A and B are shown apart, each in its own frame.
Chain A
Amino acid sequence: MTIKTAKIALTALWGVSAIPLLLVLVLRQVNGFYGDQAQAAWSWAAQFVFPNLTLIGGAWSVAGSPEDDKPLGSAIVFWGAMIVSAFYIVILYIVLGAQASGSMRASLEQSGLFLGLIQALVVGWMGKFFIEAKR
């Protein structure tokens, strides 16, 4: 697997997962699902979804280099980033479901306790992957 293919795979994972998630948030906002807690809902998204997307976008915004066509140096870093990302995305969807089936305030506020920790792990692993790809 080349570095470029690995980057595309990671980007696809995040793109395919984040678009429906954001779409649900927009539709909920339009339907008044969040009531007077819309700001809290979007703060949640800004805090736990957008940083990862920004990191991927930032990596792609740098011009492509000939190294992209080289084979992947460390498969562990790539697969680690994929698995941690997938795990994190599943948790994001669980929280999205909890907003509807439980107390919204609790789900928004309390999810921050664990999402922050997992997100740090995800961003760290993804950052390592993108930096290693540039070497």
Chain B
Amino acid sequence: MRTLTLVLLMVLCAPAIPVRNAVAQEQQPALAELQRLDRALAKICEARKDRLDDRERDMWKRRRELVDSLDERQRDALKRTSPLNKDCLRLIASLAEPSRPSYRPPGQGSQSGYSWRRQGYQYGGGGGGSPRARMAPPSPETPMAPQAAPQAPEARTAPPSSPQTTIDSPAPPQARIAPQPAPPPTSAPGPVSNDRPLKDLFPWPPPTPSAQRTLSPDVNPDSPPAETVGEVARRLERILREARFDSFGYYRVPGGFALVTRIENLDGTTGEPFAGAARWASQKVYAGLSFSSIFAITRSAGYYRVFVFLLTDDPKEPQPIDPEKTFEIARTWANEGSPSLPAEVKALPIGPNHILVVMVYEFEKFEGGETNHFQPSRWPLDQHLSSLGAELKPPQ
């Protein structure tokens, strides 16, 4: 009888065991499916589509369901392995659900719109938010928690202001990166700034450079110590202007800024930038068909360079990114940045944790072919820095 009871018990328990195991392992296929979906969705961004078809909408819907079913650890794993970056996610979200309300706290928030805290999918806190900013308490009145973005200290220390829910209109990608009106300061006294707010440095952490070096935030060896972020920016701008840089753009990074120069066309033999207008040609203008092109047996290549000056008090390890993608980013980096720093960023004091890093990105682009991102750099960093025509102060 006892044996019979035991057998009966085992028979009853047996189906429960695989069920429990199945529940425990259910997340693994979900993660695999998500990665598959993300790869497919990434093509939408590559193709720069301005609308989604039904299949793509279904994929996005399915993705949301799967992301919601993941726990925090799996979301982290997805974030690390997903080919979708922050901007791509925002783009697809805006295309898939143009009427979806997103929370944008006054005076902060991602300038590109969507904040998907519900999905637990915020790359680097919207471009490198400081831990304090990330820990900002969510408002109890909003269904979705606000995305904490890096802000000026005044805003960081200010009490949470009243929430304001905005509906993002289905804007095309170009419109989404357009600058928005500067937020009014929440607590700090002083004049209201009319400057354009800075965009987060995209991507953050920055792509692995070809060469980099830490410098003193004082910039020049003979200059007095820089007191504010604005002073560092002014000194760097002076150097860039003297080096006849056509344009440059600012981006926001934790505790400072990233100053990105326009992509330069280098002489492939010397590594020096070309003179005149040729210096700024980042795209080959295809010549008409010629006899030499018919019988050409090698492809001509262009060599390009971008400087990024990064002033931050929270440096991050650069991340490796696909060379083609890095080159595409580098081509428009300076133009998409802000031409100047907002007053509240200029006023930030330089602290002991601030470092200035100069990063150089070198590329080789074959005509109509592949792109090489030199790592390490093909030409020495000193040569690049000497082309700036100014001596830069090493860190103390």
Chain A contact residues, CB within 8 Å of chain B = 20, 24, 27-28, 30-31, 33, 35-37, 93-94, 96-107
Contacts and interface: CB of A to CB of B under 8 A. Distances in A.
B319 to A, nearest CB: 24
B302 to A, nearest CB: 14
Contacts of B299: 33, 100
Contacts, number: 53
Given A33-B299, A102-B286, A97 B294 contact: yes
Contacts of A33: 296-299
B294 A93 contact: yes
Interface in B352-367: 366-367
Interface string B350-394: 000000000000000011111000000000000000000000000
A103 B293 contact: no
Contact of A31 (B289, B297, B367): B297
Contacts of A24: 294-295, 297
A27 B368 contact: no
Interface of B: 286-290, 293-299, 366-370
A101 B287 contact: yes
Nearest to A34: B369
B290 A97 contact: yes
B366 A35 contact: yes
Given A94-B289, A97-B289, A102 B294 contact: no
A97 B293 contact: yes
Contacts of A36: 370
Contacts of B366: 35
B296 A100 contact: yes
A33 B297 CA distance: 6
A40 B288 CA distance: 23
A30 B298 CA distance: 10
Contacts of B296: 28, 33, 97, 100-101
B298 A101 contact: no
Given A94-B289, A96-B294, A103-B368, 11 more contacts: A20-B295, A24-B294, A24-B297, A33-B298, A37-B369, A93-B294, A97-B289, A97-B293, A97-B296, A102-B367, A106-B368
Contacts of A30: 297
A100 B369 contact: no
B118 to A, nearest CB: 39
A37 B290 CA distance: 22
B299 to A, nearest CB: 6
Contacts of B294: 24, 93-94, 96-97, 100
Contacts of A101: 286-290, 293, 296, 367
Contacts of B287: 101
Nearest to A104: B368
A48 to B, nearest CB: 16
